């Protein structure tokens, strides 16, 4: 393996211009961080030349189509080509830091699962042949397919029909290893049930995870996925929900800890009348890569979706990525959708990528909007707040807390909201050092 | 009775061309109950004086002093100055993302007073003050200055002035960019704050029109980083008629020699 240094490109003339990771004179450089030794690093600019020509968005045998609908999905690992880092859905991810999740058999011990659930909820550990596996999800990328090929057992959580839970189902996934592993979780909200499931990821792990979420007709389900890993963890998580008729799904991602976290929540409407909310909060510190890719597939008429992800970044090489895909298919008349990402950059040396993608195949919709804004908290903000008597540390916290609080408030579980508020405070306190 | 005293203040900034001296020896004394107007042409250093009093890091004091009742203001951090009772209504208030007005006002009030305001009276005070300044109630839920028009930003500055009750208010071109109605509303706010009898005001302006609504006790004319003339309110009237031309030694212009302060 040859030593590949991170390609730092120049902007403008070849003089002493500032370097920005991932950019060349010609614009954005596709994944310069991804030369992982297994694939020859592109010698010319990746935006031109052979490497770009060979690239298809399908990443495999799928339709080489720029539409999200054309992306390859398969339960078979071998259908997905080896990753080069140039794929549309991997171009921001530092593959070298995936610790083999995309290349190795995931034979390590998966994070241990412990569930505490209110009465009525069924919790089972099942084998690969359980017929509920595969009901809501199908891998959309190689890392997810790798987990699908390698998981040994799955945890299935069922909220029974017409049951309203009076407290949350708490699932703790505790990692205690550094070998690449595979995890599988299935959550089923049966007809007209109401419930909330919290997936708490903690400890140290290198894990690719598939979470399947089934909302039967009329079900209301909130799933909160907390990534509070130790600093050395690597986590790829494909969380796919199938939304039944008139069902309401709320999904909240909170990513705070881990070396590399890549969560890809997908919601697919299987029948008309469904509602989906995808919310996310992330706080990247120095060196952390936190990536979220949301996808709402409006394949049915008269469904509503709303996506809001908010992130804060501080410290050298803190990197966040948000890519939001919304596809409104031809038959999805009466769709109402919106997606937004906002980032707050607190210090120099951070990078926030934000890409809202909206595909609309019918004009007969209620609404479709997308927005993205990345701003920085700078010295003038600080001066303004301090000129009103507010000490510097309080000012900083005020801004970040206020910014992220919008997501925390969506959770509606006071104890959890409090815990997350404290977690955000800890992140801020760490930034003060 | 408090005194804000500025003595022989020299201030410079760093520019690409090197260090540039902006204030070249300014002396001013403001007492509680007094309104001082500082007037001058663009680039004369008026706003530099305002920002320096508040402690903006861009400005370096090279000599001279600012004291508040004998306490060295220059030794204080920006937030300490505010808590000591100095308020700067900014010329260009910045938008602060993520912080609602409500949250901001309460946090600042708590910092300035050293204790949280009683919630009920505070909410009432804020509401009443907003009403008087004709600020829509829904501004309370919006982020600080975010998406506010120029006039709305200035009104919100005066709202803070009324709520925080400083010992000294420095108004940095609060009148610029305001239409006549907004100018009246803002001036009334300043006058209300002044009428409490516990505040001294330093009003920095380029134009004389705000002086129709806010009556200064003293007028100081600023040119090239120095006070070149001082007087009572009648000086403002003269400036309205004559402008600043006679203070500016432009090429070939026949000007009266400036009176050194």
B127-152 confidence digits (pLDDT tens): 999 999 999 999 998 989 988 999 99
Radius of gyration, alpha carbons of chain A: 21
Question: Residue B138 domain-assigned?
Answer: yes
Mean pLDDT of B189-198: 95
Question: Residue B68 domain-assigned?
Answer: yes
Query: How high is the pLDDT of residue B8?
Result: 97
- The pLDDT-based confidence of A427 (bands split at 50, 70, 90) is confident
Please answer yes or no on whether B108 and A381 come within 8 Å at the CB atom. Answer: no
Question: Residue B187 domain-assigned?
Answer: yes
Stated length of chain B: 261
Tell how far CA A137 is from the center of its chain: 15
Rounded to an integer, what distance in angstroms lies between the CA atom of residue A271 and that of residue A363?
Answer: 20
Query: How high is the pLDDT of residue A31?
Result: 54
A337-362 confidence digits (pLDDT tens): 999 999 999 889 999 999 999 999 99
Mean pLDDT of A250-265: 97
CA angle B74, B164, B179 (to 5 degrees): 100
Percentage of chain A beyond pLDDT 70 is 84
Nearest to A258 by CA among A299, A296, A201, A300: A201
Does pLDDT of B240 surpass 90? no
Using the Cβ of B161 and the Cβ atoms of chain A, whether some distance falls under 8 Å is answered with no
Please answer yes or no on whether A402 and B99 come within 8 Å at the CB atom. Answer: yes
| Dihedral, CA of residue B147, residue B150, residue B155 and residue B161, to nearest 10 | 100
Please give the residue of chain B at the shortest CA–CA distance from A376: B97
Does pLDDT of A270 surpass 60? yes
CA angle B93, B95, B101 (to 5 degrees): 95
Contact between B49 and A355 under an 8 Å Cβ cutoff? The reply is no
Q: Which chain A positions have a beta carbon within 8 Å of B56's beta carbon?
A: 383
B102-126 confidence digits (pLDDT tens): 999 999 999 999 999 999 999 999 9
Q: Where are the domains of chain A?
A: 1-54, 73-81+91-376
Using the Cβ of B116 and the Cβ atoms of chain A, whether some distance falls under 8 Å is answered with no
Query: How high is the pLDDT of residue B252?
Result: 41
Q: Which chain B positions have a beta carbon within 8 Å of A402's beta carbon?
A: 98-100, 103, 143
| Dihedral, CA of residue A391, residue A396, residue A401 and residue A402, to nearest 10 | 90
A421 against A37, higher pLDDT: A421
The SS3 call for residue A173 is strand
Question: Residue B228 domain-assigned?
Answer: yes
B26-52 confidence digits (pLDDT tens): 999 999 999 999 999 988 999 999 999
Quote ipTM for the complex.
0.93
Nearest to B50 by CA among B13, B10, B88, B9: B88
A278-337 confidence digits (pLDDT tens): 999 999 999 999 999 999 999 999 999 999 999 999 999 999 999 999 999 999 999 999
A419: Cα within 13 Å, side-chain hemisphere = 12
Select the residue from B55, B58, B78 to test the A interface by mutation, using most A Cβ atoms within 10 A: B78
Q: Collect all residues from A whose CB is shorter than 8 A from any CB in B.
A: 344, 375, 377, 379-381, 383-392, 394, 398-404
Question: Residue B25 domain-assigned?
Answer: yes
CATH number for position B241: 3.40.50.300
Query: How high is the pLDDT of residue A20?
Result: 56
Does pLDDT of A4 surpass 60? no
Please give the residue of chain B at the shortest CA–CA distance from A406: B98
Calculate how close chain B gets to A384, using CA atoms only, in Å.
7
Please answer yes or no on whether A384 and B93 come within 8 Å at the CB atom. Answer: yes
Please answer yes or no on whether A388 and B112 come within 8 Å at the CB atom. Answer: yes
Please answer yes or no on whether B111 and A391 come within 8 Å at the CB atom. Answer: yes
A385-409 core/surface letters (b: 16 or more CB in 10 A; e: else): bbbbbbbeebbbbbbbbbbbbebbe
Residues forming a β-bridge with A277 = A250, A306
Question: Residue B253 domain-assigned?
Answer: no
Query: How high is the pLDDT of residue A296?
Result: 98
Mean of the per-residue pLDDT values of chain B:
92
Question: Residue B160 domain-assigned?
Answer: yes
Using the Cβ of B147 and the Cβ atoms of chain A, whether some distance falls under 8 Å is answered with no
Report chain A's terminal Cα–Cα distance, integer Å: 37
- Kindly give the interhelix angle for B119-132 and B150-164, rounded to the nearest 10 degrees: 140
Please answer yes or no on whether A385 and B104 come within 8 Å at the CB atom. Answer: yes
Mean pLDDT of B145-164: 95
Q: What is the count of structural domains for chain B?
A: 1
A417 against A205, higher pLDDT: A205
Using the Cβ of B57 and the Cβ atoms of chain A, whether some distance falls under 8 Å is answered with yes
A200-256 confidence digits (pLDDT tens): 999 999 999 999 999 999 999 999 999 999 999 999 999 999 999 999 999 999 999
């Amino acid at each position: 393996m040859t030593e590949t240094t991170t390609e730092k490109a120049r902007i403008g003339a070849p003089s002493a211009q500032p370097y920005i990771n991932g950019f060349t004179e010609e614009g954005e450089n596709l994944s310069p961080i991804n030369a992982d030794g297994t694939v020859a690093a592109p010698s010319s600019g990746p935006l031109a030349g052979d490497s770009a020509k060979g690239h298809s968005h399908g990443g495999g045998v799928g339709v080489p189509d720029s539409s999200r609908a054309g992306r390859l999905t398969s339960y078979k690992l071998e259908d997905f080509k080896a990753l080069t880092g140039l794929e549309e859905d991997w171009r921001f991810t530092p593959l070298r830091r995936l610790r083999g999740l995309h290349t190795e058999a995931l034979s390590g011990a998966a994070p241990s699962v412990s569930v505490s659930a209110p009465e009525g909820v069924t919790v089972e550990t099942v084998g690969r042949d359980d017929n509920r596996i595969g009901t809501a999800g199908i891998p959309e990328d190689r890392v997810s397919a790798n987990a699908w090929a390698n998981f040994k057992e799955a945890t299935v959580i069922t909220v029974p029909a017409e049951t309203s839970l009076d407290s949350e189902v708490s699932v703790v996934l505790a990692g205690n290893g550094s070998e690449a592993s595979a995890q599988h979780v299935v959550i089923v909200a049966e007809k007209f049930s109401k419930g909330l499931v919290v997936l708490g990821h903690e400890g140290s792990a290198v894990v690719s995870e598939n979470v399947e979420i089934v909302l039967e007709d009329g079900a209301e389900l909130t799933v909160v996925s907390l990534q509070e890993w130790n600093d050395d963890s690597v986590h790829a998580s494909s969380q796919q929900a199938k939304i039944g008729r008139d069902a309401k799904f709320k999904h909240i991602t909170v990513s705070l800890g881990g070396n590399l976290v890549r969560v890809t929540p997908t919601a697919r409407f299987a029948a008309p009348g469904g509602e989906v909310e995808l919310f996310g909060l992330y706080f990247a510190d120095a060196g952390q890569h936190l990536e979220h890719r949301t996808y709402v597939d409006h394949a049915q008429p008269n469904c509503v979706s709303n996506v809001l992800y908010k992130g804060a970044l501080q410290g050298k090489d803190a990197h966040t990525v948000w890519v939001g895909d919304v596809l409104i298919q031809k038959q999805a008349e009466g769709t109402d959708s919106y997606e937004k990402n906002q980032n707050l950059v607190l210090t120099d040396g951070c990078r926030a990528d934000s890409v809202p993608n909206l595909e609309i195949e019918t004009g007969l919709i209620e609404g479709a909007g997308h927005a993205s804004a990345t701003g920085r908290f700078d010295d003038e903000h600080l001066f303004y707040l301090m000129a009103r008597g507010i000490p510097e540390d309080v000012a900083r916290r005020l801004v970040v807390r206020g910014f992220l609080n919008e997501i925390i408030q969506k959770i509606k579980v006071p104890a959890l909201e409090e815990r997350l508020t404290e977690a955000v405070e800890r992140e801020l306190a760490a930034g003060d050092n | 009775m408090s005194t804000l005293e500025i003595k022989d203040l020299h201030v410079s900034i760093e520019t690409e061309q090197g260090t540039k001296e902006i204030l070249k020896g300014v002396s001013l004394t403001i007492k509680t109950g007094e309104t001082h107007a500082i007037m001058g042409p663009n680039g004369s250093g008026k706003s530099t004086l305002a920002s320096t009093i508040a402690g903006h890091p861009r400005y370096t004091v090279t000599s001279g002093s600012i004291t508040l009742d004998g306490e060295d203001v220059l030794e204080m951090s920006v937030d300490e100055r505010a808590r000591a009772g100095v308020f700067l209504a900014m010329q260009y208030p910045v938008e602060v993302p993520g912080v609602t007005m409500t949250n901001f006002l309460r946090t600042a009030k708590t910092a300035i007073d050293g204790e949280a305001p009683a919630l009920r009276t505070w909410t009432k005070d804020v509401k009443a003050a907003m009403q008087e300044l004709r600020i829509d109630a829904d501004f309370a839920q919006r982020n600080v200055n975010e998406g506010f028009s120029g006039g709305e930003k200035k009104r919100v500055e005066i709202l803070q002035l009324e709520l925080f009750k400083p010992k000294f208010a420095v108004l940095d071109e609060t009148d610029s960019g305001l239409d006549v109605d907004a100018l009246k509303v803002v001036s009334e706010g300043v006058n209300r704050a002044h009428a409490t009898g516990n505040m001294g005001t330093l009003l920095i302006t380029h134009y004389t029109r705000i002086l129709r609504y806010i009556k200064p006790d003293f007028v100081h004319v600023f040119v090239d980083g120095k006070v070149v003339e001082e007087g009572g309110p009648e000086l403002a009237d003269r400036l309205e008629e004559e402008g600043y031309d006679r203070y500016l030694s432009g090429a070939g212009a026949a000007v009266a020699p400036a009176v050194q302060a």
